[in-house]
Amino acid sequence: MMKVNLLVGGPVTDWPQDLKQRLAQKNADEVWVGADYGAVRLVKAGIRPVLAVGDFDSSSPSEIQLVKEHAVKSIIRPKKEDITDTMLALRCIFQELEFDQIVIYGATGARLDQFLSNLFFVLMSEFKPYCEKIELIDRWNHISFYLPGKHRLEKLPDTAYLAFVCLNAVTDLHLYDAKYKLDGVDFTEPISLSSNEFVGNSTSFSFTSGVLCVIQSHD
């Protein structure tokens, strides 16, 4: 399975605890892409990103030059555009790379407006078909996305809580074997059904329309 890891510019303090160690590893089945200052951090960590994308408005001229010298391909865009650096990086991944999974790091911390942008972009027609292959991971949360159907989810180690977040209108939502079950409930507006829990090592759910975000988390 080919994994594309996308590092964006969120705070290092919100990274998963093992991410710095993983950056030092060289795995043949994964590649790294950097969005904006995430590309700078990859290069400084000794990673040669296959793509570096962004306006780099938070980078110094020497950092931009460093990225240009070390990335396989760099795309430096004008500052004004209708999508974020994260979305532009995903667009480039879709167009240029083969992948089975895209894992995004550095997308959830500090600025709430940027986190919401990184959460809701999956509703856009350009990104929605790929949403089930996209995950967001930080120090406390593992976020995945689902389209209508029946799904089974495995519990991740060291997580305690489970949330089902309706990003838009979601119909006929069933939570079959979580601690708190649902039996075919419709939600007409976005809502976070938080603080649920696994009963065993997995749980199953289904729905017939909408986009569902599932979060496994710990304090």
Q: In this structure, are 93 and 157 located in the same domain?
A: no
Tokens describing residue 154:
């495995």
* List of residues 6+ apart from 115 with CB closer than 8 A: 107, 108, 109
Domain end among 105, 139, 173: 139
122 close to 90: Cβ distance less than 8 angstroms: no
Residue 35, pLDDT > 70, answer yes
The number of domains in the chain is: 2
Domain end among 118, 139, 160: 139
Q: Tell me which residue range forms the domain holding 205.
A: 140-219
Residue 208: band (very low, low, confident or very high) from pLDDT cuts 50, 70, 90: very high
Query: What is the average pLDDT across 27-55?
Result: 92
Quote the pLDDT of residue 198. 97
Tokens describing residue 86:
């994260």
User: What secondary structure letter does DSSP report for 156?
Assistant: P
- Per DSSP, the residues of 48-65 read --SEEEE--TTS-HHHHH
Residue 1, pLDDT > 80, answer no
For residue 158, give the CATH number of its domain: 3.40.50.10240
Cα-based distances in Å from 54 to 37, 44, 87, 151, 210: 8, 17, 10, 35, 30
Q: In this structure, are 12 and 50 located in the same domain?
A: yes
| pLDDT tens, residue by residue, 172-195 | 999 999 999 999 999 999 999 999
